[in-house]
Amino acid sequence: MKWIKRNDSEANYEDRRGRGVKRGATIGGLGAIIIAVIALLLGQDPGQMLNLVGEIIPNQTAQEVIDPSRVNENEDLKVFTLGVFNSANEVWTEVFRKQLNETYRNPVLVNFTEQTTSPCGGASAQTGPFYCPADEKIYIDLDFFHQLASKYGAQGQMAMAYVTAHEVGHHVQKVLGILDQFNQYRGKISEKEFNKLNVKLELQADFFAGLWAYQASRAGIILLEPGDLESAISAANAVGDDTLQKASMGYTVPDSFTHGTSAQRVYWFRKGYETGDINLGDTFSDPSLR
Ligand SMILES: [Zn+2]
């Protein structure tokens, strides 16, 4: 893919590269001890919980530079990811207006190095990119893209774009109320049934990623090139649960798939990529996924 008009705006961007909440800087003394005791009683890591509390309390969320050598790390990947993120918001604003007659709201993109905190828990490069519905932010450690290329063989810009657009897809699900509906089933149905729903949720985010590519190209933001579909598909393959499970355990366990098989991910991404029509992305009522 090539940029035709890349939007570098940082209006919805939070740069935490080389930054963090200085431990002890926000909560000290007795407060910290009490939180540490509560954390231990709950079986949580006290350090992580302190960071989390610091994050939640207003006016104490300031991220300070803790490693000046890393504040501009992976700058080229940052510029690229931010461009994809901004273009996805432009695309979804239009799709909501034209196809759904609804209003879209922008999420925030957070880049960090090594680790950070979120209302959804701590994050590290191992966690991989994720979307936190509680603060409507997408968390990406840019180093993940090196892993994607080296460890999983998913190369090319479209592979990275797919990952970013997939996370924005989860935000779209939040805005549409799909994530809330999904969470209502938590603990109310069997684990096996819940996992099936989870797969549908993930495949829909893949469909939304494909839809982004179609619409961003149609809007003249990006130019799709030969090999782009394959590049995205290799990323979909790489982060499919069966591949990740094979890599970590050497075998696959069908019942615990939460992202779907690689073949399913490719199918739904391609469907969005070739149609650009949100009405065709209802993975929840698709007969093949019952
Ligand atoms: Zn996902």
Query: Using 50, 70 and 90 to split pLDDT, how confident is the model at 58?
Result: very low
C-beta separation of 19 from 115 below 8 A: no
Question: Distance (Å, rounded) from C-alpha 211 to C-alpha 165?
Answer: 9
- Any residues with CB less than 8 A from the CB of 206 and at least 6 apart, and which? 166, 169, 236, 260, 265, 268, 269, 272
Task: Find the radius of gyration of the CA atoms of the chain.
Answer: 19
Q: Are strands 137-141 and 108-112 parallel, antiparallel or unpaired?
A: parallel
Res. 253: pLDDT tops 60 = no
Nearest to 20, CA basis, from 110, 84, 112: 112
Highest mean pLDDT among 90-99, 145-154, 228-237 belongs to 90-99
135, 119 contact by CB (below 8 A): yes
For 71-129, give the DSSP string: TTTTHHHHHHHHHHHHHHHHHHHHHIIIII-------EEEEESSEE--TT--EETTT-S
Q: Is the pLDDT of residue 236 over 90?
A: no
Q: How far is CA 287 from CA 74, 173, 238, in A?
A: 43, 20, 25
pLDDT given for residue 104 in this prediction: 98
Residues with beta carbon < 5 A to ion ligand 1? 202, 205
CA 198 / ligand 1 centre spacing (Å): 9
Looking from the CA of 173 toward its CB, the CA atoms found within 13 Å total 31
CA of 278 to the centre of ligand 1 (A): 17
Centroid of ligand 1 to alpha carbon of 166 (angstroms): 6
| Number of Cβ atoms within 10 Å of the Cβ of 211 | 29
State the average pLDDT over residues 83-99: 97
29-38, 94-103, 110-119: the lowest-pLDDT one: 29-38
Strands 13-16 and 108-112: parallel
Q: Which has the higher per-residue pLDDT, 287 or 30?
A: 287
Confidence of residue 214 (pLDDT cuts 50, 70, 90): very high
Tell me the mean pLDDT in the region 224-247: 75
Ligand 1 mean position, distance from CA 164 (Å): 10
Band the pLDDT of 78: cuts 50, 70, 90.
very high
Measured in Å, residue 163 CA sits from the centre of ligand 1 at 9
Give the tens place of pLDDT for each residue, 150-175.
877 778 899 999 999 999 999 999 99
pLDDT per position as a tens digit, 254-289:
445 567 788 888 899 999 999 999 999 999 998 887
The alpha carbon of 165 and the centre of ligand 1 are apart by a number of angstroms equal to 10
Q: Cα of 249 to ligand 1 centre, how many Å?
A: 21
Going from the Cα of 108 to the center of ligand 1, the distance in angstroms, rounded, reads 16
% of the chain residues with pLDDT over 90: 50
β-pair partners for 79:
none
Return the higher-pLDDT residue of 216 and 28: 216
Tokens read off for 98? 């034209």
According to DSSP, the residues that pair with 222 across neighbouring strands are 3
> What is the pTM (predicted TM-score) of this model?
0.82
Residue of 35 and 150 predicted with greater confidence? 150
Give the start-end residues of each E strand in the chain: 2-3, 13-16, 19-20, 64-65, 108-112, 115-116, 123-124, 130-132, 137-141, 222-223
* Torsion from C-alpha of 68, 72, 73, 75, nearest 10 degrees: 180
**Rounded CA separation 84/78 (Å):** 10
What's the gap in Å between 168 CA and the centre of ligand 1? 9
Confidence of residue 60 (pLDDT cuts 50, 70, 90): very low
What is residue 120's predicted lDDT score, i.e. its pLDDT? Answer: 84
- 185-189: long-range pairs with CB below 8 Å, 24+: none
**From ligand 1's centre to the CA of 33, what distance in Å?**
36
Rounded average pLDDT over 213-221: 97
Bridging pattern class, strands 130-132 and 108-112 = unpaired
* pLDDT of amino acid 59: 37
Residue 69 alpha carbon to ligand 1 centre in Å: 31
Average pLDDT over residues 32-47: 64
Mean pLDDT of the chain: 84
Calculate mean pLDDT across residues 119-130: 77
Q: Find the 152 Cα to ligand 1 centroid distance in Å.
A: 17
Ligand 1 mean position, distance from CA 51 (Å)? 25
Å from CA of 31 to ligand 1 middle: 36
